[in-house]
Amino acid sequence: PNKVGLAGSPTKVIKVQPPPKTRNPEIKYVGKDQDVIDWLVQKIRESLTEDSGQSLKYERPKPKAKTEREVWVYVDHVDGEPNPASWEIMGEGRRIADLMSTSLSAVVIGDRVDKVVGEAFQYGADKVYHARTKGYNLYDNDVFTQALSRLVKKYSPEAVLFPGSRNPRELASTTAIAVDTGLIADCTNFDVDEKGILHSTRPDFGGKEMSTIICPNHRPVMVTVRPGVFRPLPRTERKGEVIREEVEDLFTRFKVLETRKVERRNVLAEADVVVGVGRGIRDPENIKLAEELAEKLGGVVGVTKPLADSGWYPKDRQVGQTGVTIRPKLYIALGISGAVQHLVGIAGARKVIAINLDPEAQIFQNSDYGVVGDLFQVVPELLRRL
Ligand code: FAD
């Protein structure tokens, strides 16, 4: 709807552009260049030994504006256990607050949330607002919307960022309606202009374009942030001021009948090395080759959507827009063309190596190192040398 500029929409698209090319590829051709496999082994080794502390170090950006109101990050939790996606958003929230020269606050809703409040400081918050919802510690959309909208109306922040996980996405939309402001969903990039207005960028049209959206006249701007894109700040021992608000007269239309814990760890999201497999692998039997390579490098296998859709590999191993966003130290793409929907899932990988027969394949433009060649020739040789 934003694209056609619906009358009355609080948000406005200000720029649409193709996804940025973030890497500068170095490419070798099998059969043309010398010692391609040696070079590949060296690049793999380098990728795995590079100092990982580097990317965690926070460098305070130069402020672009001076904003009076604060930046808030909503901290998601399940019965007092923080959702780690919140700390990634806190990391980016810190940068946004610094660009606006304002302070960064965490918002925590619930009854027993001491652990969440403590960790919010350790991951970068200057201040924590705790809306105490007596008797409600689990997420309840009615209760949490009332609590958050009261806090927002009372303290009037500039922006509220939410992790793009299930409950916060819902809470962001119901709260945006309750306080009559705009919501920009599923963002992957942020900037601030000289007026202190937040520019939020998100993939649109199935990832073919990036739209930059602002909320010019309503405050706060509400934003959900795609999990897995940003990194948390290094954890510290800092503490700060907690502002507690008892939220009275809560009502809910929901009644929780039962709660059950579900194990939802995804090995892909946590792996340091991911070997990605695409249609170039030709036959499900051949995925063994990728598994062998992954095992040798202490990693796991991920796949493109067509492979997951045809049941060649489990759906929870699909990398990309409708799969998992990954951030390994090294991603090796075997026989993957590099569709944008796949690329958004690997944007956070530290190094990307692609092996593909087609020198024109898009994946090469989004890789650090590429080998133009047959994966059935390159991978067995690579396995022998590693
Ligand atoms: P192809 O595009 O067919 O590429 C195969 C590649 O293998 C080619 O580049 C070819 O040159 C190479 N090749 C062939 N033989 C060899 C060989 N012997 N050695 C080396 N290379 C070889 N896709 C995802 O991956 N993740 C998503 O989350 C996702 N979400 C989507 C959401 C939507 C709404 C839509 C519309 C699409 C989505 N897709 C997603 C699909 C995406 O658009 C592409 O169709 C898909 O990523 C292509 O998969 P592929 O690279 O395996 O296959």
For residue 237, give both structure tokens.
């021992």
Ligand 1 pocket, Cβ-based, cut-off 6 angstroms: 206, 278-280, 304-306, 318-323, 335-337, 339, 341-342, 345, 355-358, 361, 374-376
Q: Which pLDDT does position 260 carry in this prediction?
A: 85
**What are the beta bridge partners of residue 210?**
17, 203
| Distance (Å) from CA 304 to ligand 1 centroid | 6
| Distance (Å) from CA 279 to ligand 1 centroid | 6
Greatest pairwise CA separation for the chain in angstroms: 74
Q: Which pLDDT does position 383 carry in this prediction?
A: 96
Q: What is the pTM of this model?
A: 0.79
Atom 20, ligand 1: residue with shortest CA distance: 356
Which secondary structure element, helix H or strand E, spans residue 15, and what is its range? strand 12-17
Q: Mean pLDDT per 10-residue run, the chain (386 residues)? A: 56 87 89 94 92 68 97 96 94 98 98 97 98 95 98 98 95 96 94 97 81 95 90 93 96 91 81 97 98 97 98 96 90 95 89 97 95 98 95
Q: By C-alpha distance, which of 170, 183, 168 is closest to 220?
A: 183
What is 64-126 written as a DSSP string?
----SSPEEEE--EETTEE-THHHHHHHHHHHHHHHTT--EEEEEEESS-HHHHHHHHHTT-S
Atom 3, ligand 1: residue with shortest CA distance: 279
CA distance 290 to 293: 5
Task: Spell out the residues 6+ positions from residue 384 whose beta carbon is closer than 8 angstroms to its own.
Answer: none
CA distance 140 to 237: 31
Omega before 220 cis (within 30°)? yes
Atom 13, ligand 1: residue with shortest CA distance: 280
Q: Which pLDDT does position 207 carry in this prediction?
A: 67
Nearest-atom number in ligand 1 for the CA of 374 is 19
